[in-house]
């Protein structure tokens, strides 16, 4: 075989490998976008075109004799197809990433109309300060639909967004006047109950679960109701910003832990430890405790 023939074989082999890789990437993209009609069609057609190109390259490899000018000309479009498919998939991925970044920094969640985490935090700070001035407590209630990942996998993101929107409506209707609701995470809703002790937060959680079971049906319309997991965390002492961060994280963790064990229940996080600023000073506490040396004990 001549040098040009060997070069043609190597190039054809490279096109074959690239085309098979492009077909695999297109098939994976089609599965990922199976609920997005336009993208699904683009990915499916691209994968089919890559398979045709791979078949043509395999035929060229098995052909005997030196390639003619048509064989050389065919290499250029065959080599361009996998590259174009890679560029197309990268463009879609970049658009999706940009959309996720925009949603993360947006003050309002597009599906529910509730504040996102940063905005919820900003709204909750004044309410926490007011509750402390009035001598009341504050609790964070986090809630998530256990069936949401399954709905998205089976019926697509649009069905999941609709279920999340309906859940947000139920949450709003269950809240007391003055409570503040928002997102702790993309699919985890949270409410700050100011002036409510842990027992009051548990009553609210039970009422929310009752409302959800009565009003939220599964999109499959098979008689199932959407299941709900709730985590409750008390807002501890210390600076308002850090206390809220701690309570947000504790409520979210309680929900995640419960869902990993099957969900569909209410979990109360361990109470936060007392801060040194919350403990009585010697001037107000009087003499040291019996058997102590007068130093404040911080748990």
Residue 10 in this model has a pLDDT that exceeds 60: yes
Residue 57 lies in a domain: yes
Residue 295 lies in a domain: no
95 CB-near residues (< 8 Å, 6+ apart):
none
One domain, residues 129 and 263:
yes
Note the pLDDT of residue 170.
Answer: 96
Residue 286 lies in a domain: no
Looking at residues 55-74, what average pLDDT do you find? 65
Residue 293 lies in a domain: no
Residue 289 lies in a domain: no
Averaged pLDDT of the chain: 83
One domain, residues 132 and 37:
no
Based on the structure, what is the number of domains in the chain? 2
Note the pLDDT of residue 79.
Answer: 76
One domain, residues 141 and 270:
yes
CB burial of 258-285 (b: ≥16 within 10 Å; e: otherwise) equals bbeeebbbbbbbeebeeeeeeeeeeeee
Instruction: Note the helical H segments in 33-116.
Output: 37-62, 69-105
Note the pLDDT of residue 84.
Answer: 84
One domain, residues 263 and 181:
yes
One domain, residues 90 and 214:
no
Which phi-psi region, left, alpha or beta, contains residue 291 (left: φ > 0; alpha: ψ -120 to 50)? left
Looking at residues 267-285, what average pLDDT do you find? 63
297 by DSSP, 3-state: which?
coil
Residue 291 lies in a domain: no
Residue 112 lies in a domain: no
Q: Give me the residue label for tokens 């109701």.
A: 225
One domain, residues 30 and 141:
no
Residue 292 in this model has a pLDDT that exceeds 50: no
Domain end among 57, 85, 105: 105
Note the pLDDT of residue 281.
Answer: 37
One domain, residues 199 and 154:
yes
Residue 279 lies in a domain: no
More confident site: 57 or 264: 264
Domain of residue 83, residue span:
3-105
Q: Sheet containing 266-268: give its strands across.
A: 180-183, 188-194, 138-145, 228-234, 266-268
CA 278 to chain centre: 36
CA 72 to chain centre: 49
Note the pLDDT of residue 77.
Answer: 74
One domain, residues 136 and 200:
yes
One domain, residues 155 and 248:
yes
One domain, residues 47 and 9:
yes
Pairing of strands 138-145, 188-194: antiparallel
pTM: 0.69
One domain, residues 122 and 268:
yes
One domain, residues 46 and 157:
no
In whole angstroms, give the CA distance from residue 41 to residue 76. Answer: 25
Note the pLDDT of residue 14.
Answer: 80
Domain end among 105, 126, 142: 105
Note the pLDDT of residue 293.
Answer: 39
- Structure confidence by residue, pLDDT tens digits, 105-125: 788 998 899 999 999 999 999
In whole angstroms, give the CA distance from residue 85 to residue 97. Answer: 18
Q: For residue 68, with 0-12 CB atoms within 10 Å meaning exposed, 13-18 middle and 19 or more buried, which class applies?
A: exposed
Tell me the β-bridge partners of 139.
193, 234
pLDDT band at 154 (very low <50, low <70, confident <90, very high): confident
């Amino acid at each position: 075989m001549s040098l040009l023939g060997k070069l043609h074989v190597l190039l054809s082999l490279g096109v074959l490998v690239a085309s098979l890789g492009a077909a695999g990437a297109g098939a994976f993209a089609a599965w990922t976008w199976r609920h997005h009609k336009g993208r699904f069609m683009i990915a499916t057609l691209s994968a089919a075109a890559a398979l045709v190109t791979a078949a043509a390259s395999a035929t060229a490899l098995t052909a005997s004799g030196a390639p003619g000018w048509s064989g050389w000309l065919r290499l250029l479009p065959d080599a361009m197809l996998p590259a174009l498919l890679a560029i197309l998939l990268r463009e879609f991925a970049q658009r999706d990433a940009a959309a996720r970044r925009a949603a993360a920094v947006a003050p309002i969640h597009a599906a529910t109309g509730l504040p996102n985490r940063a905005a919820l935090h900003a709204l909750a700070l004044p309410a926490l300060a007011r509750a402390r001035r009035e001598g009341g407590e504050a609790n964070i209630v986090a809630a998530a639909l256990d069936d949401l990942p399954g709905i998205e996998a089976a019926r697509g993101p649009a069905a999941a967004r609709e279920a999340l929107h309906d859940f947000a409506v139920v949450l709003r209707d269950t809240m007391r006047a003055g409570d503040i609701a928002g997102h702790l995470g993309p699919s985890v809703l949270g409410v700050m109950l100011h002036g409510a002790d842990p027992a009051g937060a548990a009553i609210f959680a039970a009422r929310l679960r009752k409302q959800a079971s009565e009003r939220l049906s599964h999109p499959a319309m098979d008689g199932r109701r959407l299941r709900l997991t709730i985590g409750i965390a008390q807002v501890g002492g210390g600076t308002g910003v850090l206390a809220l961060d701690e309570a947000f994280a504790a409520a979210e963790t309680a929900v995640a832990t419960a869902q990993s064990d099957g969900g569909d229940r209410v979990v109360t996080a361990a109470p936060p430890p007392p801060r040194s600023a919350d403990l009585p000073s010697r001037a107000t506490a009087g003499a040291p405790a019996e058997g102590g040396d007068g130093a404040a004990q911080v748990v």
